[in-house]
Structure formats: C-alpha cells, structure tokens
Structure 1
Amino acid sequence: MSQLDPVVLFFLLGLGAGLARAELKLPTAIYEFVSMILLLSIGLKGGIQLSSQPLGTLLVDVVLVILLGLLLPLLAFPVLRFVGRLPRPDAASVAAHYGSVSVGTFAVAISYAAVQSIEYEPFMPLFVVLLEVPAILVGIVLARGISRRTRWRALGREIFLGKSVVLLLGGLLIGWIAGPQGLSSVEPLFFGLFKGVLALFLLEMGLIASAHLTGA
C-alpha cells in the first residue's frame, strides 16, 4: 500500500478537477475559515511545545533564522531580476517567497512526519513566523524601494498585522500561555479536525494551481 499521505491526494483532486474544468470551487467564506483554522492549529501546537521548553535556549537559533529570512530574498532578487529578466515587482514577490515558508507546505510536512513517526523540533512553527516577517519586509522594500516618502508605520502594519502572521503568532502565544491542559476544551476543533481542514485547504490549492496553469 502507498505511503502517500491522503491529504496530498486532495491537492491532486483539486488540480485534476481544475484542469478538467469541473464545476468545483470552495466558497470564499469556507476557504477563509479553513485557512484560519489551519494557521491557528499550527500556532497552537507550536505554543504547547514551547510551553515546556526554556525560550532562552532558542536565542541563537532565532537570530540565525531571522538572518536567513533576510538573506535569501536578497540573494534571489538579483538572479530573478537580471538573469530571469522578471519585472521588479515580480522579482521581489518571488524573492520574498524564497525567504518565507508556505503554511500549506509546512502543514503537509508536519502531517507526513507525524504519520511516519518522524520527530522534529517543537519550535518549528515559531520559525515559520520568524521567516515570514523578514521575507515580507525585504520583498516589499525590493518592490517599492526606499525613499523619504516611505511610510514605515503603514509598512509595519502591513507586515506585522497580516492575517498569517497574526494568527500564527497569536496561536503560538495562546498555546504557550494555556498549555495542553488549558486547550483541552478546543482540542477537537483545532487538533482533531486538523487533517480534514488541511485536506480542504489543499483541495483549494489544487484548484488555484490549475487556474494558473490554464490561465483561467
């Protein structure tokens, strides 16, 4: 029997349905709800694990991850801009993706690790947030440039108050403060349904990917 995680098959279902132009689409409200549950679930799981670990031991790792999030977009941008000949906004956007982590990809990875009984460090969700923020910052600056007219307060709000950062970081803090016992009442929603929520998320990702491939 194949060891392929079933949630990956949902992505392939969405991709195939989209390429076949099937009448299949996840309603916007449901997709927003699914993405919120997914982000909070990842954050809560990381927060629970962090609650049992001294944060001081992570200081060096945190600094290195932030530097990595800043460095990767800076390295990718000139290659995309001058070798790939992409327009500046497109090169900056793609470069920012090199520095950040796809939440969907991360969720599939930790799901696969759990199925295969592969252990991983509990603070990985924290690193997802730490990579997201500097990558977005560098991407925006590369796309818009820096001038006296740069509105740093608005830029900060755009970065730190984005949905993914707020939900991931908020989930981490809630999980860290409440711990496993405190979150037992919401466990069925955020942990029990995690794989099902991830499956719906990847179904929509497959549909979106097919739309890009077909130019729809």
Structure 2
Amino acid sequence: MDLSLLIENLTNPALLFFFLGILAVQLKSDLEIPPNSSKFISLYLMFSIGFKGGLELSHSPLDMGIFWALVLGILLAIVVPVYSYFILRRKFNVADSGAIAAAYGSVSAVTFVTAVSFLEMKDIDFGGHMVAVMALMEAPSIIVGVLLMSYFRKEKTKKVDLWAVARHSMTNGSVLLIMGSLVIGFLASDQQARGIEPFTTDIFKGFLAVFLLDMGIASGKKLADFIKKGWFALSFAIVMPLINGCLVALLSGWFIASTGDRFLFAILAASASYIAVPAAMRLAAPKANPSLYLPMALAITFPFNITLGMPIYLYLIQNL
C-alpha cells in the first residue's frame, strides 16, 4: 500500500485532535468539551452532512443505481449481524452477542461524517443518496439483533415489541436529523443553499476537529476498562470491521462504479454504532452489558476505521 496515503491521513489535523483527546485522558488532564457544546456540534455535523447530501441528490438523476444502492445497504445491515452473532456466541452469552452483532451490523454516523471529510480532502466525488443509505441501515440491524436474541434465549416468557424497537431506532435524534436535513437539502434551490453555505460548508472541518477531540476524550476514558475484557473482544473489534470493509470495498465494484460511493459503502460495512444501538438495547435487551459493546464500537473500531481503515479501503478500491 502507498504509505503516503496512510501518513497523510494520520497527519490530518482533525484526526490529530482525536489523538490529543486520548492523550489528555492518559495524562489525567481536566480537558473536556462541555456536554451541551458537544451535543450541539454533533447535531451540526449531522445537519451539514444531511443537507449537503440532499443538495447533491437533487442534482443527480433518480435512476435504478440509487435504488440498488439502498437495497445493498439494507442487505448489509441484515446479513452482517447474523454471521457476527454466531462468531460472538463462541465467547459471549445470547444478550451480549445479539447487542454486539446489532452494533456491528448498524452504522456509525460519526465515522460516516469523518469518511465524507476524507473524500473531500481527496477531491473524490460521492452520491448524495449515500446519506440516505447510511440512515436506512440503522434500524434493520437492530431488529435482526433483537430477533436473534429472542429466538436463541432460553427463557421465552417476555415478548419484545419489535415495532417499538424499530420506531425507537428510526426516531433516534441523529437518524431523524440527518434524514430531515437530506429532504430539506433536496427541496432547497441552489440560491437558497448558497445563503447558508458559510454555515454548512466553510466551518465544517473546524467543528469536525473539535468533535473528534471530544470523541478522543470519550474513547480514552473507556479504553482502559475495555482492555480488561480480554483478547477476543479486542480482536473482534478490529478484525471484523477490517474483513467487512475490505470485502465490500472489493465486491462493490461489481455493482457500483463510483469510487466515492464504494468507499462509503466499505466504511458503512466496517463501522459500528455506539449511539443508536446502545439507546435501542436499553429498551430491547436490558441484560446486555453496555460496558462491552459500547467500548468495542467507540474505543476500538471507531479509531481503527478513521486511522488505518479508511486508507486501506480506498487503496483496495483504487488499485484492485
């Protein structure tokens, strides 16, 4: 692999702020982003990505390619948690296996945002419909994870309300905002979009850097406790995303021509949810251990994808 691509990614200022957050935790610094500010920045990033995606979608022909992209996204969200569950059952109980499988079948909106920034840095175009693909992949994996837990658990007395779980995942704040922004961007005219362009575009990378600093702090706090969980969880949190991302990066060439779209599909396949899934699992699987599936997605898989994963997936797409 061309090491210049990896080095360029690792020296990206936004990513270096992520490492600064981890370093701050290790040094026991009092550096932190106020919770209200952190929430505002995450909402801003979802809004900006959704709006720009809708704007791009309005300029794209609505053809069968977009339809098949949506189908492929939903199919990934269904298939990945199924085989992940059976791998996880070698070491974990039914509830933990189902919750982790749902997390790895679902997607990380923050990883997607970082990947979009990575593509923009490389001047690689992507379709605005990929924002819709990302949003639609949240709910199916959660439902599959809950179904697997319901089927394989020994005590079958308590029924799980799948409709409530699906509704909860689809009305999750990040999903609702990014889909709503996508629709608004799609409906907006070019003149109207230019009116808020300084907010949606010009300050995006600055906010992303501050947000990744906050994510670094959050990851650093969970890293030490997670390492005590053992090598299987650590290995799964790295190897499974790598396999998923590499396979999709290679196989997507049979269905998708755009380099940017293939890269985002690889990222979606490799990422793990640490926002929507934990919220849904509180409702659907209270016995699942959040100190297991949350650090796996946030403290291991997320850093891996934004540091090493992205250059690897892009290299495979461009060279194989």
Q: Which has the larger displacement, 45-54 or 120-129?
A: 120-129
TM score, norm. by length of structure 1: 0.89
1:73 aligned residue: 81
1:161 aligned residue: 171
Distance in 2 (CA, whole Å) between partners of 1:197 and 1:30 is 11
**Correspondent of 2:126 among 105, 120, 126:** 120
**Correspondent of 1:26 among 30, 33, 56:** 33
2:196 aligned residue: 186
Distance 1:22 1:94, change over 3 A: same
Q: Deviation of residue 183 (structure 1)?
A: 2.3
2:213 aligned residue: 203
The within-5 A match list for 1:102-117 is 102-117=108-123
Q: Which has the larger displacement, 205-214 or 124-133?
A: 124-133
Q: Deviation of residue 141 (structure 1)?
A: 3.4
Distance in 1 (CA, whole Å) between partners of 2:146 and 2:51 is 28
2:55 aligned residue: 48
Query: Quick check: 2:58–2:187 contact (8 Å CA) kept in 1?
Result: yes
Distance 1:16 1:173, change over 3 A: same
Between the two proteins, the alignment pairs up a number of residues equal to 214
The within-5 A match list for 1:55-66 is 55-57=62-64, 58-66=66-74
Q: Which amino acid aligns with 1:109?
A: A
Gaps of 5+ in 2: 227-320
Gaps of 5+ in 1: none
Q: Deviation of residue 130 (structure 1)?
A: 1.9
Q: Which has the larger displacement, 147-156 or 45-54?
A: 147-156
2:269 aligned residue: none
Q: Which has the larger displacement, 31-40 or 131-140?
A: 131-140
Distance 1:179 1:131, change over 3 A: farther
Q: Which amino acid aligns with 1:72?
A: V
Query: Quick check: 2:57–2:127 contact (8 Å CA) kept in 1?
Result: no
TM score, norm. by length of structure 2: 0.62
Distance 1:152 1:112, change over 3 A: closer
Distance in 1 (CA, whole Å) between partners of 2:75 and 2:201 is 32
